[in-house]
Structure 1
């Protein structure tokens, strides 16, 4: 399981009180290792569940032919948590709910029909970084190709904005962007229709059966 570090120095130093002739400074120094060795797990399971729900809502609402919940509805934006195995054993929440993420979702939803159509044609693919890729433009006429290139560009701009927002609202360091991208990549690949090109974690491409 992936991990990121969070300071627990305040707890360690609060416990560093004079005792047995040792000075406060000595006890504080003795407590310092706890500040660097205690870690909190990156909530991988919670993150995956949250991104799965987010992407599932985009795809399955269209398949059912029904309207998805309004942007302000938090049905599909639950807070998911797991108990960390850190020394303090506290609960980490992974959130996707913000006004910005809801707005981005509406933009993604507005082009989902086109994205699904070109995926089924074997034109588009989902890479391992959570990005849409123009995989086989040979199936398109010139004007179609230009349209799809624009579609891919717009989609990826919105996805980049989404990943940045998710990082921000969960107060994660920039080093965790890769984890966010991979979680969304798995979600987009899982919900993509047959014919979509999918990239594995090893970089290999194949079409979804």
Structure 2
């Protein structure tokens, strides 16, 4: 009978492992709120009012004990029990955007915005769906200013890339960088004034 106990316990193990997610969920709602705070600081009164934060559907959980060898199942169950108690106690955290480096990048972008704003409004520049900005119509920029505008674009994109990375690092989750960039990309576009241009993922430009 004692030999049958491990076999009888296996369905319970499989059910338990199917219901538990050990990974740290990306706090999408908190990321949207953090992006709005940054955009409000960078764009000031030019940013459109922030719409209601949309909570995306949760990601499909992954099993921690998927391919464990039989000899490791006992130790795995101990880890599983700890993870279950941690998962039950966990709530979606705030996303920290208050480090000195994040503030430095935000300040640099805020200082640059008055230089870029006329070119957003003229249609020379646009917002990319990748979280960066792009030169849409070079002819809308005086020839004498084109190199300077290109330098501003390069500096802005470098600061944005650093911002997304620093937010992920400041929260101890470097793997969140891509998700943070996607959230910011959506929020830059969402908060942009009417009349600005947006570069879609298919390479086509549209005007808000």
Which TM-score tier does this pair reach, normalised by the shorter chain?
0.5 to 0.7
Choose between structure 1 and 2: higher strand proportion: 1
Partner of 1:48: 32
Provide Cα deviations, 1:174-200, integer angstroms capped at 9, x if missing partner.
3x3221111111222233233321134
Choose between structure 1 and 2: higher helix proportion: 2
Contact kept? 2:165, 2:174, Cα under 8 Å: no
Structure 2 spans left out of the alignment, 5+ residues = 48-57, 62-83
**What secondary structure, in the 3-state scheme, does the structure 2 residue paired with 1:92 have?**
coil
**CA displacement at 1:57 relative to structure 2:** 2.1
Q: TM-score, normalised by structure 1?
A: 0.67
**CA displacement at 1:147 relative to structure 2:** 1.2
**What secondary structure, in the 3-state scheme, does the structure 2 residue paired with 1:107 have?**
helix
Structure with the larger RCO, 1 or 2 (CA within 8 Å, 6+ apart): 2
Q: What is the alpha-carbon distance in structure 2 between the residues aligned to residue 36 and residue 166 of structure 1?
A: 30
Provide Cα deviations, 1:142-194, integer angstroms capped at 9, x if missing partner.
221111101100101111111110110122243x3221111111222233233
4+ runs deviating over 3 angstroms? 20-23, 33-37, 84-87, 200-204
Provide Cα deviations, 1:48-75, integer angstroms capped at 9, x if missing partner.
1110121022212578xxxxxxxxxxxx
**CA displacement at 1:40 relative to structure 2:** 4.0
Structure 1 spans left out of the alignment, 5+ residues = 1-19, 64-83
Q: What is the alpha-carbon distance in structure 1 between the residues aligned to residue 127 and residue 207 of structure 2?
A: 10
**What secondary structure, in the 3-state scheme, does the structure 1 residue paired with 2:92 have?**
strand
Rg comparison, structure with higher value: 2
Partner of 1:92: 92
Q: What is the alpha-carbon distance in structure 2 between the residues aligned to residue 145 and residue 53 of structure 1?
A: 31
Which structure 2 residues correspond to residues 3-42 of structure 1 after superposition, within 5 A? 34=17, 37-38=20-21, 39-42=23-26
Partner of 2:43: 59
Q: What is the alpha-carbon distance in structure 1 between the residues aligned to residue 132 and residue 173 of structure 2?
A: 20
Contact kept? 2:32, 2:183, Cα under 8 Å: yes
Contact kept? 1:119, 1:193, Cα under 8 Å: no
Partner of 2:178: 178
Q: TM-score, normalised by structure 2?
A: 0.67
Contact kept? 1:116, 1:193, Cα under 8 Å: no
Partner of 1:14: none
Q: CA RMSD in A?
A: 3.4
